[in-house]
Amino acid sequence: MEYCLFTEPQQGFSYDDQLAFARSAETHGLDGFFRSDHYLRMGEGDPRPGPTDAWTTLAGLARETSRIRLGTLVSSVTYRVPGILAIQVAQVDAMSGGRAELGLGTGWFEREHEAYGIPFPAKRFDLLEEQLAIVTGLWATPDAETFTFEGEHYRLDAAPALPKPVQERMPVIVGGGGPKRTPALAARYATEFNIGFVPEEVVAQKFDVVRAACEDIGRDPATLKMSVALPTIVGADDAEIERRLAAIAQSREQFDNGANIIGTPEQVVEKVARLRDLGASRVYFQLLDLRDVDHADLLGTGVVPHLPR
């Protein structure tokens, strides 16, 4: 089992806020620091200091950490052309000594695209499929050979397919609740399938669908890592839990929706054990207040030592 911090920096947090969380994860035995890839705050509130670019941030963290995995959950296909994305991710992999992971998805936040002049086509699954084919194809191209791709949306002509990642197979995360195309793309291209923000019974259903998609193409389902990402509030007691809920402007009734992780360290351990029994081998704890480093520390010191490995 692996345990990672998962953050939403676009909600109003700086690079230094993210660095503090990454260092907490590294100090206290978590396995990774992952962040969303967004440029606009969601909902009411002060967006300052403003957005940070995901891959620029991860490049910085690559040089300021030494052990934890670093990645996106997930980057949107609308933000970057795939040839450049492959270079960026491979460079962060080199800068980190082989610790980068790419989560890639279709994108969904239309207002963000309007704000920054980013095209937002109505249909994006074909973009995702072609980008997955391109980035994995570039990384898998043998040394000294070139990569050519002819698609509906992208064309690469004898690309040098450099630089190569440090890792022999770059981890690629595909996630979401789609019933057909998402499982098929995960089975074909991904090293990890992620489902987030849903109750345990839905987690079980989605894992079963993805396993079946693997079997459909002759892939051993055991070769695809299964993971779950859930908003998390943990506190030593009810007062600490309520303080953390207030910091993200949520009531207990709103947050405790049958899917999210909320409670004392002991209750969090029980929830994770159930996720493991469903087949999850990685859990992302989504912490929404990046100024509350004590929250990250509590996960590392009060929860992770008691979790199954």
Q: What is the DSSP string of 164-218?
A: PPSSSS--EEEE---SSHHHHHHHHH-SEEEEES--HHHHHHHHHHHHHHHHHTT
Which pLDDT belongs to residue 58? 99
Each domain of the chain, given as residue ranges in start order, spans 2-306
Predicted TM-score (pTM) of this structure:
0.98
Give the tokens for residue 260: 């999210």
What digits encode the pLDDT tens for the residues 160-215? 999 999 999 999 999 999 999 999 999 999 999 999 999 999 999 999 999 999 99
What digits encode the pLDDT tens for the residues 284-297? 999 999 999 999 99
**Domain 2-306 part of CATH 1.20.120.1770:** no
In whole angstroms, give the CA distance from residue 304 to residue 309: 9
What are the distances in angstroms from CA 111 to CA 46, 51, 77? Answer: 17, 15, 16
In whole angstroms, give the CA distance from residue 216 to residue 284: 28
Among residues 54, 168, 78, which one has the least CA distance to residue 128?
78
Which pLDDT belongs to residue 61? 99
What digits encode the pLDDT tens for the residues 100-139? 999 999 999 999 999 999 999 999 999 999 999 999 999 9
What digits encode the pLDDT tens for the residues 255-270? 999 999 999 999 999 9
